[in-house]
Structure 1
Amino acid sequence: MRFLFFLFSLILLASENSSYIAAQSVDQLHQAAELGNVEAQWKLGVAYANGHGVEENDEEALKWFQLAAEQGLANAQYSLGGVYYNGKGVQKNDQKALKWFQLAAEQGHAHAQGSLGFMYYNGEGTPQNYQEAMKWWKLTAEQGHARAQKNLGVMYENGHGVPENYQEAIKWYRRAAEQEDTTAQRNLGNMYDNGKGVPRNEQEAMRWYELIAEQGDPSDRYSLGMEYMNKRQFPNDGDDYNHCSDCNYFNVRAYAWLSVAAMEGHQLASAQETSLRDSFMTSSQITEAQNLSIEIFNRILSANNNP
């Protein structure tokens, strides 16, 4: 399993520092950088890497990152590691990327720690080493980074570098899930769905799946509606509605999510919504489901209007 982790593009680095670059002209940065100001050297590298106030130039970015990194600036070391990892303005070199990430990570740079964990986990520029990956991701996770928290959950769930421990997996999944990491939300839902480390609880599982669907697109909402339909329990694999356990709960939510997807133009959702309504639902369930679908739709609209 590969983790797409903390190897942010340099564009993301620029977005964090664009206000600084906007406040100071590139000429001013050049002057300070030429005088040996290490912070200015790094900021100038960011400007060149992303074309902020100057034409994008990977070679110039590399030059200024290198100067600042060699003077021990953690941000520059992390940026230089990213340059070597992505092969921007220089031949891709995982060993050099690892070296610079390591230097920044040892200074407590959270993104560098995450990137270092990524490389150790996948064996890039170094032999694969789950224990080292765990060490660096834990440092990052304890600083509140959701991706590292999610990755720790995966390692504990699967026994990678540590003994398998579902309770620890749930702890880290939950921390990441509460920060809206959708993979962590899915994994946490799966733990509840399958009773791994917790008593099996389908409704708690579906609560996490709902959060994913709200952040997703109409296809995600259609899939959730179908998942609710498939949760209905009929005796002897039949369709005897009168003996269906929890049909009210699952029918209402299946219809609501299918209805939302249908409102967004999902054609399969519209067909399934009609079939469910006409074949299995009472009038009171339909009313409840319609009200719920409006609530969900309004939440999604509100989230999209206030990203």
Structure 2
Amino acid sequence: MAKLEQLSCSKHFGGKLTKYKFRSTALGDLDARLNIFLPGNSVHGKVPVLMYLGGLTCTEDNAAQKGGFMRDAAAEGIAIIFPDTSPRGAGIRGEDDHWDFGTGAGWYVDATHPQWAKHYRMFTHVTQELPQIIEASGLPVDFSRQSILGHSMGGHGALVLYLTSILSGRNTYRSCSAFSPVCAPSVVPWGIKGFNGYLAGGVEEGRDKYDATTLIGKVKGPVNILIDYGTADEFKHQLKPDLFADAARKAGFDESQVRVRGQDDYDHSYYFVSTFASEHVKFHAGFLKA
């Protein structure tokens, strides 16, 4: 199994934010990078963890530097993992032609189209490979107490990974939250482009496997979901939070289980994310520390 190689480390709110890389099997033998924040209390034993998934064009650094999560994570004694958003340097034709597809835009799917299937396996990378590599490294992270959150494309990823884990019976994550998530990718331009590119079955395959609005209608049993979006979001037409909320209500989930909040006059940026970061960390802490 590949080993984590430390690239940098900075003390932060009494803990440490460390950047690593390793050779990823899931991503077709490419280097993968990530940041891990460990709170100060992790020196005494394993701590619960939040997995944060970034949005289009982001790397492992954007949320770590601009998200505003670590003060509250440190206070709550929770680790945060920030993976990259796609493979890098696969050398696939067209990989760098568009900002919303290819490099920086992995969409958290396991590609089935032959052109992309070797390297673009972000679903497996996040759900299986990263926990295995981190546990094998001996870092004090307790993956039995894990929750997930994300922004934009990463909000889509967080919802899909969370709901898929419930449907599979694994229940990997105790809770899920999202900022400005792409809630119904099979009906909006960003998602249609991603699904038609990465998946051999195109939008139909994506709707069945990777569309949160479809998946929430299949879930039986409790869920813990918080979604925030800005009413002034310039990409709101790509997000469709209303479709997700409607599907959740039809599936029998009330606001105690699925809360979708429109925040007046906020946009899509990290100014918005950092404003509500504290509330999201505390939301997850209620489940991770129960």
Scaled to the shorter chain, the TM-score interval is: under 0.3
| Bigger helix fraction | 1
| Bigger strand fraction | 2
Structure with more relative contact order (C-alpha pairs < 8 Å, separation 6 or more):
2
TM-score, scaled to structure 2: 0.25
